[in-house]
Structure 1
Amino acid sequence: MNERIRHLLPNDRMKIFQKEPFFEDAETVLTLLYQPLISIKGVAVFQALWKESHYQQPQTSISHHQMMNTLNMTLDDFYEARKKLEAIGLLQSYKEEGSFRTLYYILQCPYSAKGFLNDPMLSVLLEHHIGRDSFQRLKKRLLNEVNLPSNVQNATHSFDDVFTTVHPELIKEKQVIEEPETQAIKTKLPLEWLHKMLTQQQIKAQLILTQPNIEYIEKMIKIYDVDYLELEKALIWAVNEQQEFDRKEFQDMCKDIFYKKHGSIPPRLYSKEQKELEPEPKKKSNQSEQPKSKEEQLIEHFNSISHRELLEDLSASGRASMKEIDMLTSIMEEHGLPQPVMNVLVDYVLKRNQNKLSKNYIETIAAHWSREGITSAKQAMQIAKREHTIYETWKQKKNQTQKKRQRTKEVLPKWFQDEREQKKQTQETKTQTEPQGDVKKKREELEAFIKNYSKTKH
């Protein structure tokens, strides 16, 4: 608030100008693409200034108090939103001191949807803010790409095929047009050092360090907090066998560097004035002190590498599959697992699953560990050991049950089966004959009693 009072007061006047006409999809782009980065207040301030610029006369002005009432917003909120608009490239502000202060607001044209999504810095930040799946769905909705059959050929006539600025009879020979000298590349990067470093690796630096590539590199290292020493490794990794700069590889490498340094939370836009938790001071480690056990050495190893480096160490070629790296990075971001925990998970799955990385299996464990609140390599190793013990116990019981079933289903000799069948038949015939003999005996006894009774009566 103290800063705002020095730079902006409610009675300060404002004049608003629109630098150039906006694209037709400006409203959509502001709502769907810019808003996640600058918040709904930032978009509301821009739209209010935009509408006001249509009706404001060149010689007139309004106070900031009037704009506050229009937006139903405090001046502090307006000032914070204004700074975000300036930082993102949607607004330029100029001030004029006099009997009263006047602010000149120059509205900059927002990107079109295609321009925004093709900008490496804005598109990467948006993807981190809304998530990869939402970003891909949004990109598919906004970019209407024309899909032609694969066998078509371009039949479009060029300008030179149809037109000429000189009468055909006067055309003699085509003059060779000298190409203008290439302009020096403007950058803060140490180009001489980068050229020397790439040349030592037998890489053609002039093919890699072009103006578009330099601009892309500058934006990526700013987003992912990559220093010059880390840049060397990322740059070498991103050059393929055809001496081409692979931007996707470079971004993935920068992303790995960021996660290794700052944890699993992806880079986002934060206000510098926002109070952040001060990191705990690291304990000074005694150089002579060595880890007490193999477990501590392993924990230290998991804390100091990324899952990319883990897979590279386990690969005979020293290279990791980009498909697997993308999958693991996506799962780590989705479930918010710190890098050391993800390293333990990858190591655990590889040992349990015969060196195979199954997405469904990894995602199931990642979701479980996220719910359990696992935040360190030590916790991850403990829960992995516990689950492994449970699994081994269950496996042992299962094997014992299967052995019992196999014993009960043992094949008996044929002579033993015949003898058992014969005994069974003998018992059945015996049980069938015994009741009949008893009935016959009782009948004879009854007949004898009746005869004796009739004799005594007579």
Structure 2
Amino acid sequence: MADAFNKLTPDSKFVVVNATVNSMIDHNVLNNLYLPIIGDGALQLYELLWNFSVSDHNQLVLHKHYELQSMLNIGTDKIVAQRKLLEAVNLLGTFASRKSPDSLVYAMQVPLSAKEFLKTDILAVMLLGKVGDETYKQIVSRLIVPLPDLGDLKNISASLLDTFDVPTTLIKNIPGTVNETKQVLNDDRLDASNDQLSPQSDDFDFNLILEMLDNSYVDQRSVKRSHDLIISEHLLYGIDEVEMVKLIQKATNLSTNELDQHRLKRLISQQFEMPQPANKPKVEPRSQQAEKPTQNFDAATEQLIKITQSNAPMTFLQQIKDQKHGIVTPGEERILRDLVNKRVFPNEVLNLLVYQILVVEKHSTLNQNLISTIADDWSQKHVSSAQDAINALRNRGKERAEKTTRRYPKKRINVKETLPDWAKQPRKSQPKQSKQGLSPEQKKQLEQQLNQLKKQK
């Protein structure tokens, strides 16, 4: 059912509902906080659907996606992609009717307040990754205006019952009209849950963190408040529970015994920049114990898959940079942090994306536009494993070769294929030929690169 609605047609139907249709949306919050994350196209779709909801006023007016296409001048695939961005940040809920499976229900959600947004770690981290430290601070200063220090004050405001004469019997026995209204307000079937904005990880035990800190000086309440940040940093850097506890203790304010989130992020970033011991044992993620079996790949490709499955994105990127005698730039760190926090792909897929750009295509740094293009393509193709990514790269290489052929139909120019073996289609018609299809020199070079990656684990 979900896959069917990911492939919309212009005639696909939908209705728009809005539980807060009489409310005004805060464009200041949308433009400053949400726009850098979801992009201009998704924001335009949100505002158009919101206008539909205001006009329809929850009367279940039936629309076709052709309306969105013609007004936004985009295709249905783009509508699906932008809709997913809105769903990811809880600006939109999408529901399929059991009685009318051929139509969708779009439930509009109001944006978080600036304070709620900035207190949601994963959203704040994604925003920081998009705009950088300086712009992030400027955005906060525009939206959050702290109160001046007014000194020691006493609240002398009048209370409700002191001011108004409300009969006690009415409070004890709530009138039926009030209860009926409360039942309507409690109907939250179309409300999007903010739980999905809390990152999760199957190979990281947050409760174990709390147990190890149980008898320490660290205030556990401050650690629990930092749950999203801790999980996000684990996903990005591959930090295990024991190492995370050590970092938490170092980042704790000894005056208050509370975890300082900014200091924790700074310590982790600094530790990543320091040279890591070559003999440091690698902790295998528990979720990878039941790995997806490899397909009909050659030995070099299977080795690459294992390497991508056993390294966090930052570690993998650093290893490749070390081989190329380069450094990880702040821009590259932001790009990876953004991809990890979106939780669209597992780490093995992100690592293959890095390998493709830096090793195969020989770019010196990660390019935001190129990564966004490939990531968007993989998202639409539901790439969810290293094997899926390799097949997608094979198809990408084939499509690029076909485009070159169509572009120069009359010229007979032999273009030497520069893609590695795992990005090529295997030749079943020539069983005696090596699966790799590479020269001995190319094969040796690829194996050397893989061996270097393996040694640095």
TM-score by length of 1: 0.48
Q: Which has the greater radius of gyration?
A: 1
Tell me: higher relative CO, structure 1 or 2? Use CA pairs within 8 A at least 6 residues apart. Answer: 2
TM-score scaled by structure 2? 0.48
Structure with greater proportional helix content: 1
